[in-house]
Structure 1
Amino acid sequence: MDPFLSLLHSFSLSLSDTELSSLKFLCRGKIGKRKLECVRSGGELFSILLEQQLIASDKVAFLEGMLESIKRKDLVSQLKQFVEEGELHAPEDQPDVHEKRLQKAAIEVICENVGRDWKMLMRKLGISEVKMDRIVAANPFNLQEQLVQSLREWQKWKGKDAKVTDLIRALRGCNMNLVADRVEQKLSSLNTGTS
């Protein structure tokens, strides 16, 4: 799946009707009135912009300007992050299916149990202060989302080297032993087929 299309899809899902109307208004000089009247979702609008080559994975200035105009700083920072990191890792750089399943389970437990101390955990995992600050800026009032995005950042950065054992080791290194125990319990229940 094209990472840029995935990004546009997530943007589309997060747009309110008012924001979509504003984006359509901003496109008036670029897209014909009749076409704009037919647009019912962000996805449809982005499709037209892609067709007319106004946006592309390596051509995001117009999209960035529109998102800034509707005051969606969170989406602007996601877009900038996408551009900085380039495309996501190639499939051969991803963990295997079993490891991904374990990671998903571990991340669920971590997100349910690690609160305000999430930055300490991320530092143990090697995530930079700059990346954490960017994540906080994109999700200023949502502690849970800050943690989720940080863990995703770690997964992307590590690729196939992202291991659940590293998460457990980092938790223990931060004296979050109870959370580490819960992760291990969840993983053993997955491995034995109970949950």
Structure 2
Amino acid sequence: MDPFLSLLHSFSSSLSDNELSSLKFLCRGKIGKRKLESVRSGGGGGELFSILLEQQLIASDKVSFLEDLLESIKREDLVSQLKQFVEEGEVNAPDDQPDVHEKRLLKAAIEVICENVGREWKMLMRKLGISEVQMDRIVAANPFNLQEQVVQSLRTWQKWKGKDAKVTDLIKALRGCNMNLVADRVEQKLNTGTT
């Protein structure tokens, strides 16, 4: 099954009738009145997404219109899921990914960082080159979950760097922020072997 269609299906089942009405209203400039009237409340989100797909307003590699719609109806949770879908490389070319060994090392390093970096995570992200806007979005999507903020920001960095994402960069950034204990723990975990 197409992962993008599965995602849209899960979105459609979580939309309330009011949210669906808002989405229909927001699509007025893009979709004809008759087509919009055919979208019924009660699971009609799927119909609306089908029309958007047909008219090529959205696709698995073209999600900005959908993101704008979801932001307009204040569904940050769905925006966050959409961004995660894009970040996890459903859209990205596989040749822009780190090799399997580096991926495994990164996963282990990210686990250690998430367990040990607390409220100072933004300082680390700045060192890694993540913008304030990206960090604000991550905080808005996960307002009360510090660990999830760290995870999402590291995923954003990894996605941005693609195949250039290296554990050595994470360690260097940690040391640059005087988070030597965390850097030591990352190195220790990598040296004890991650299989």
TM-score (norm 1): 0.66
Structural mapping, 1:86-165, within 5 Å: 88-165=91-168
Conserved 8 A contact 1:75-1:138: no
Percent of aligned positions that are identical: 91
- CA distance change for structure 1 residues 62 and 135 in 2, over 3 Å: closer, same or farther? closer
Aligned counterparts of 2:121 and 2:46: Cα–Cα separation in 1:
33
* Structure 2 portions without partners, runs of 5+: none
Conserved 8 A contact 2:105-2:194: no
Aligned counterparts of 1:12 and 1:191: Cα–Cα separation in 2:
46
Matching residue of 2:193? 193
* TM-aligned CA deviation for residue 124 of structure 1: 0.8
TM-superposition CA deviations, 1:101-144 (whole Å, max 9, x none): 00000000000010100000001111111211121122222211
Conserved 8 A contact 1:89-1:159: no
Aligned counterparts of 2:106 and 2:13: Cα–Cα separation in 1:
25
* TM-aligned CA deviation for residue 55 of structure 1: 4.0
* Structure 1 portions without partners, runs of 5+: none
Conserved 8 A contact 2:60-2:91: no
- CA distance change for structure 1 residues 177 and 2 in 2, over 3 Å: closer, same or farther? farther
Number of equivalenced pairs = 192
**What secondary structure does 2:62 align onto?**
coil
TM-superposition CA deviations, 1:32-64 (whole Å, max 9, x none): 999999999999996797478674246657745
Aligned counterparts of 1:9 and 1:193: Cα–Cα separation in 2:
40
Aligned counterparts of 2:14 and 2:150: Cα–Cα separation in 1:
19
Conserved 8 A contact 2:88-2:159: no
Matching residue of 1:21? 21
Conserved 8 A contact 1:88-1:156: no
Conserved 8 A contact 1:55-1:62: yes
Aligned counterparts of 2:34 and 2:191: Cα–Cα separation in 1:
56
Conserved 8 A contact 2:109-2:186: yes
- CA distance change for structure 1 residues 171 and 193 in 2, over 3 Å: closer, same or farther? closer
Conserved 8 A contact 1:64-1:76: yes
Further displaced range: 26-35 or 102-111: 26-35
- CA distance change for structure 1 residues 192 and 84 in 2, over 3 Å: closer, same or farther? closer
Aligned counterparts of 2:90 and 2:60: Cα–Cα separation in 1:
9
Match of 1:68 among 68, 71, 74: 71
* TM-aligned CA deviation for residue 67 of structure 1: 3.4
Further displaced range: 146-155 or 29-38: 29-38
Aligned counterparts of 1:154 and 1:115: Cα–Cα separation in 2:
17
Structural mapping, 1:31-42, within 5 Å: none
Conserved 8 A contact 1:49-1:55: yes
Conserved 8 A contact 1:102-1:164: yes
